[in-house]
Amino acid sequence: MYSLLAPLLGVALTVFVHAMAWRMIRPRSPARLLLPAAVAGGLLGACLTLAIVPNPGPLQSLEATLLFLPMIACYMISLPALEAESPSALIVTHVHRCGRAGATKEELAGVVNDDVFVINRIRGLEVEGLVTRRGEDLSITPAGVRFLNAFLLYHRLAGRQTLAG
């Protein structure tokens, strides 16, 4: 029971703490709040579960940790989709709203625009230190190169060269 209850409680508390902090502080980079929220939520979840299931044993404690960490990783990797609009989601939602009349490409071009999908992303990359701006010129930083290579590594090893977007 401990191996299921502790991580579920820990993740629920982490998401709650993170969401509250996000709403109140409105940070430029919500991902930075996640680590302290996860530590606080995880520890609190473990302590609360121990009150219900005392002495879980080392194997169940390990199972609980090995479930908690992937759940937090799932939340973390979903954050950009929560934070920013997805072009595909916006397109299918707009098409659905148009119903039987359908939507033209021109109408969709009004919904998918540079400000929301490119300029905003560039600003986000600057805030996170992955891109730097000198006057008009934008350059990728060493952190940006590492970030990019980390995501492209698997594709390169699998022999699939990918142009993102």
- Could you say which residues in the range 88-107 bind other proteins, by CB under 8 A? 88-93, 95-96, 98, 100-105
* Number of residues this chain uses to bind other proteins (CB under 8 A): 80
- For other proteins, give the closer residue by CB, 54 or 136: 136
Tell the smallest beta-carbon distance from residue 105 to other proteins (Å).
7
N-term to C-term CA, the chain: 43
CA–CA separation, 134 and 49 (whole Å): 51
Q: Do residues 68 and 7 lie in contact, with contact meaning Cβ atoms separated by under 8 Å?
A: yes
For residue 122, give both structure tokens.
Answer: 């560039």
CA–CA separation, 51 and 25 (whole Å): 32
Q: Determine which residue in the list 19, 40, 44, 48 makes contact with other proteins, applying CB under 8 A.
A: 19
Tell the smallest beta-carbon distance from residue 6 to other proteins (Å).
9
Q: In whole angstroms, how far apart are CA 163 and each of 66, 76, 146, 158?
A: 34, 23, 17, 15
Footprint of other proteins on 97-156 (CB under 8 A): 98, 100-105, 108-109, 112-114, 116-119, 121-122, 124-125, 130-131, 134, 136-140, 144-145, 147-148, 151-152, 154-155
10 Å Cβ neighbour count for 68? Answer: 23
Footprint of other proteins on 29-58 (CB under 8 A): 58
- For other proteins, give the closer residue by CB, 27 or 43: 27
